[in-house]
Amino acid sequence: MVKFANEKSVQEFKDLLGGLQKGDKKSKFKDRTDESSATQYFQFYGYLSQQQNMLQDYVRTTTFQRAILDNHGDFVGKVVLDVGAGSGILSFFAVQAGAKHVYAVEGSCMARYCSELIQHNKYQDKITVIKGMIEEVELPEQVDTIISEPMGYMLYNERMLETYIYARKWLKRGGKMFPSQGTLYLAPFSDEGLFQEVCNKANFWYQSFFYGVDLSKLRGEAYAEYLTQPIVDTFDPRHLVARPVKHSTNFLTDSEESLRDIHIDFTFYPHTASQVHGLAFWFDVSFEGSQKTVYLSTSPSEPLTHWYQVRCLIGTPLFARPGQPILGSVTLTSNKRTKLRRQIKRCTWRAARRRSPTRWI
């Protein structure tokens, strides 16, 4: 006789058996995703505390609700797909806007909690929860509208956007996607305090007599390691020294492949003389409905969200003069070790007329 500790364990065992019965056919998701990374990812989003963190993001939650309710014409009497439904909050918004039926697809154990909320709110005739990944499940019909919250840090982190775009296979011709487009912004920043803070962390390895051991041989490697770690925080927009450059992705037309390696050329024109310590990133998304376009922004000049902003430092600060162009490029590529994440692969930039570029890898 097999005994289980709780109901969650029973459900996980049933899901495992169901997967075995379907066979070992490899999905597009499994093709691009390291198994251990996927397990960690779904465990993370299976916690109610993490769902709470997102639900309590006032800007995020109210903007999604407003985008859906203000475009009720795209939902009244429509069949809707909620990709990565989580707690099901977007599915509830779709029903509030008059959706005929919603298919809420969720890959983590949060699917069980989502079902409980639906039954508790007596929406079981309106919302059907499907446990699994959109790349592996089958829907009973095509849908009129797709809703999701697929954005990660720097927009592309976690690679949920590829899953969101894959879901278009279930979208009827002329259907809507909420959100419809995402735009990543990048701009040079000056922040001596942040730069020195990171340098001071690496300076630990300068010690030549740490409990009798000389650590200084590793200081260079430690410094390089700290520089490869993006800093997720918020900052005063006055730290920006030039207007941002942007890169947009249309979720209705762009391909999954276009998101795997993203190359962005930039030319910045500083508006003040200052040391440039790195690049800052943020994003916005638009919900382009039939009745209204609604925007959600994570800009440092807008109210704070749980996405914050992201800053990446360069090893050698670059002195910028007003009006003197700073040219270069950034490449975002899928991380082959943890494929659900994104990383800065290469950034080269230089001041105009400067012979050798400042390079950060």
Phi first, then psi: what are they for 139, rounded to 5°? -95, 150
**Considering 82, 149, 191, 288, which one is annotated as catalytic?**
149
Cβ neighbours for 87, distance < 8 A, ≥ 6 positions apart: 51, 55, 110, 113, 114, 117
**Considering 82, 158, 162, 191, which one is annotated as catalytic?**
158
Active site residue 138: no
Beta bridge partners of 241: none
**How far apart (Å, rounded) are the C-alpha atoms in residues 312 and 291?**
38
Task: Give the burial string for 107-146 (b: 16+ CB within 10 Å, else e).
Answer: bbbbbbbbbebbeeeebeebbbbbbbbbbbeebeeebbbb
Q: How far is CA 299 from the centre of its chain?
A: 15
SS3 of 243, please?
A: coil
Confirm if 273 and 175 have CB atoms less than 8 A apart. no
* DSSP states along 41-64: HHHHHTSHHHHHHHHT-HHHHHHH
Active site residue 306: yes
Residue 76 token pair: 């009244």
Q: Is the torsion defined by CA of 36, 40, 43, 45 positive or negative?
A: negative
Active site residue 136: no
Phi first, then psi: what are they for 129, rounded to 5°? -90, 130
Active site residue 236: no
**Considering 57, 74, 135, 284, which one is annotated as catalytic?**
57
Confirm if 296 and 208 have CB atoms less than 8 A apart. no
**How far apart (Å, rounded) are the C-alpha atoms in residues 298 and 288?**
18
Cβ neighbours for 243, distance < 8 A, ≥ 6 positions apart: 187, 268, 269, 271
Phi first, then psi: what are they for 248, rounded to 5°? -110, 150
Active site residues: 57, 149, 158, 306
